[in-house]
Each structure stands twice: as structure tokens, then as C-alpha cells.
Structure 1
Amino acid sequence: MTRPDALSADTIVPFLAEIFARRGAEEYLGEPVTISEHMRQCAELAEREGAGDELIAAALLHDIGHFTHEFPADAAAQDVDTRHEAAGARVVARFFPTLVTDCVRYHVDAKRYLCATDPDYAAKLSDASVHSLKLQGGPMSDEEVAAFEKTPHLDAILKVRIWDDIGKDPDHAAPAFAHYAPVLRRVVRTHRL
């Protein structure tokens, strides 16, 4: 496997495809779908809503850090926050536009934000998401909310978060990674120009 620091714009999409193929069948932290199925369902939700390529790429890659962080697979069960959002942002930042990177980097903060600002949101979280919320710092404070509301691409980040919460249907098979590879290639190519 290629090291993330040795990747190029020409090798990032094959690298991501290999990760999805090799690790995609792993359990998704107690959710009823695999991590790959979850990420592909999120991308499909973006696609169905008519999102552009960058937002579809962000939805697909928002949890890529689960595959690239340095913690054991059972870290959440050990009450360890893997900071997968930071690990994922490090992988995509060199090759994808800021919107994609921000959606990856801030999708956990978006959950914390929504828990603090929407009284109904927290009640809809899965048990696994409630557990990870505790590890990730819980709902934001008023000061954190005010600061987060100034984040560029906030609307896109919140959309990815909502798809993140929905994309956990064990009875639905989303399109394979190969369906999204052309989208990723277009986004990388456009970003290089």
C-alpha cells in the first residue's frame, strides 16, 4: 500500500479505491452497516439531492480518516477518540478543494454544533453516534457555537453531517466505489488547474 505522504494527484483515487476495497467491509463502530457502505450511502444521498461533484466527494470521503488514523479498530470501545476527522483531512487536503477538506475536517464539529443548537437533533442520533459524541467533547458551548458559525462552507459541512446521520440503512446497497471514482478524478483534476 502506498503511504499517504507519497501520494500524487494521479495516485490518490486509486489509493482511495484500494482502501475501500481492503478495509471497507470493517464494522462501522457499532452501526448496522459497514464503514464503506455508510460512506457510499452518504455520497448517494448527496447525488440524489443534486449536489455538485465537490459535495458528493465530501460526502463519500468524510469518514476516510477511520481508515488512516493510527488507533486500533476498537478505540471507541476503549473510550478513545481517534480524531478520524483530522486524519481524514490530512489525506485529502493536498488533492481536493477546501470545501471537501473542510467537510471532512469539521463533520464531527458539525454534530457537536447541531446537538447544541437543535433540540431535536440529538434525539435522532444512533447509540453509536451518542457514544462517539461523548468522546468528541459533547455538545458545543455557546462560545464554540459562535466560533463555528463563522466557519467557511458551514452549509456544506452541515449537509454532509445530516447525510452522515442518515446513511446507515442496512437494507440499502449504495453504488460501489467505482461509481464515484470519476467524480473524485474530476474534482482532483479541477483542483489541480
Structure 2
Amino acid sequence: MDPSTELRTGLIERIAQLFAEHGASAYEGARRESVSALEHALQCAQLAEWANADASLVAAALLHDMGHFVAVDSEGDAIDDVHELRALPLLAEGFGAAVVEPVRLHVQAKRYLVATEWAYGARLSPASVHSLQLQGGPMSPDEVQLFETLPFAQAAVMLRRWDDLAKEPRKRTPPLDYYLALLAELQQQPFVDSKIGIGSLSIA
């Protein structure tokens, strides 16, 4: 087997294992939502697919919360868990910027939308409102301007909107294996990490 193919196959297996280990869990405390982590991921990917998003963005929708699986914060609800950053080293092993960057930016996209759409914040779930305060609140005008210049900003905004909607209990979706097959079909591209800071993040 070609080493690059073996690397991609191994990554898909690790992603499947992480979903198997953590997907049934529900967010607790102030972060509690009405669906499990796996249900949320599948619904988000389904919404991306229904919107005719390209395969990379569907993959990002599926994987955007994997940071919750790769580390556990002992501080619980008291601090920002920076989950959008935790899985980036894992994802960058096999996926290009079109997958990795929307994942990295989806929290910043929430801050952006709260700052630029007056009705957006009123539609957030209580858990999202709670986490927003820990994540820095609405963007400043300078942050908004910088965010809008980023290559994957609009993809992240689309992902954020699906993220907000993907919380419907008992909604029917394709199984995880369906989306794992999509991940396997994505061709690996070099991941370039540039350094442009917004808040506490370094984003490309």
C-alpha cells in the first residue's frame, strides 16, 4: 500500500474510533444540547450536503466538533474549551485547508455573525450563548474587517449556520459510515498554516 494511502486510511479509522468512543455523549452543564455529539455531527453534515456544499465542506461539517473528543477540560463550563483548535493537528494529517480551515474558524464565525446580524444572537441556543461569552463575545469592528478577508471565512459562516440548526432530537440522517466514505474519497492536499491573529487564535 502506498504510504500516503495508508496514512489516510489510518486517519479515517481514528476518526471512526473517536466517534465510537465519544459520539454517544451529550454536552453537560451550561453547554448541554438536545442531541448527542454524533447526532449533531451527522445532522450538520446532512445540512451541508442538502445545501449542495462541496465534499470538503461537508467533511468539515461532520468534523467541526471533534476537538471535544481529543481532550477533556477539567475546568468544565468555567473556561473556553477551544475545541475548534484541539483536533486541527489530527485533521491536518490527511485533509487540506478546505476542510481544516472552516473547522478552525467556526467559533470565530459565530462571533462574527453576532456582531454583524442583529437577529442572529437571539436564535442561539442557551448553550451557544453561554459559550459565546467564554469565546470572546461579538467581534470588534476591526476583527470583523479582518475576518472578512480570510479565504475560508464564508465557508466557516455557512458551517456555523448548519451548526446552529443541527440540534433536532431524533432526526433521521445517513449513518456515520456514509460520511466516512466521503472522507476517504477526499484527496489529501498540503496544509499551509499561516499566522493571522483574531483574539486568542492564529487563523489562516
Deviation of 1:70 (Å): 4.0
Please name the residue that 1:14 is paired with.
13
Deviation of 1:105 (Å): 0.4
Please name the residue that 2:76 is paired with.
75
Matching residue's letter, 1:57: A
| Structure 1 residues not aligned, in runs of 5+ | 1-6
Contact 1:40/1:175 (CA < 8 Å) preserved in 2?
yes
Specify the SS of the correspondent of 1:169: coil
| 2:36 is the counterpart of 1:34 | yes
TM-score (norm 1): 0.89
Matching residue's letter, 1:94: E
Mapping of 1:49-64 within 5 angstroms? 49-64=51-66
Which aligned segments of 4 or more residues in structure 1 are displaced greater than 4 angstroms?
none
- Tell me, in whole angstroms, the C-alpha distance in 1 between the residues paired with 2:93 and 2:12: 12
- Tell me, in whole angstroms, the C-alpha distance in 2 between the residues paired with 1:15 and 1:110: 27
| 2:101 is the counterpart of 1:99 | no
- Tell me, in whole angstroms, the C-alpha distance in 1 between the residues paired with 2:181 and 2:57: 14
Please name the residue that 1:84 is paired with.
83
Please name the residue that 1:120 is paired with.
119
Contact 2:11/2:93 (CA < 8 Å) preserved in 1?
no
Please name the residue that 2:141 is paired with.
142
Bigger mean CA deviation after superposition, 85-94 or 41-50: 85-94
- Tell me, in whole angstroms, the C-alpha distance in 2 between the residues paired with 1:191 and 1:129: 32
Q: Percent identity?
A: 42
- Tell me, in whole angstroms, the C-alpha distance in 2 between the residues paired with 1:90 and 1:139: 27
- Tell me, in whole angstroms, the C-alpha distance in 2 between the residues paired with 1:90 and 1:161: 21
Deviation of 1:97 (Å): 1.2
Pairwise CA RMSD:
1.5
Matching residue's letter, 1:158: V
- Tell me, in whole angstroms, the C-alpha distance in 1 between the residues paired with 2:188 and 2:98: 13
- Tell me, in whole angstroms, the C-alpha distance in 2 between the residues paired with 1:17 and 1:47: 20
Please name the residue that 2:199 is paired with.
none
| 2:183 is the counterpart of 1:184 | yes
Kindly provide the CA deviation profile for residues 119-145 of structure 1, in whole angstroms up to 9, marking residues without a partner as x: 010000000000000110100111111
- Tell me, in whole angstroms, the C-alpha distance in 2 between the residues paired with 1:190 and 1:80: 34
Contact 2:33/2:167 (CA < 8 Å) preserved in 1?
yes
Please name the residue that 2:201 is paired with.
none
| Structure 2 residues not aligned, in runs of 5+ | 1-5, 191-204
When the two structures are aligned, how many residues end up with a matched partner? 182
Deviation of 1:190 (Å): 4.5
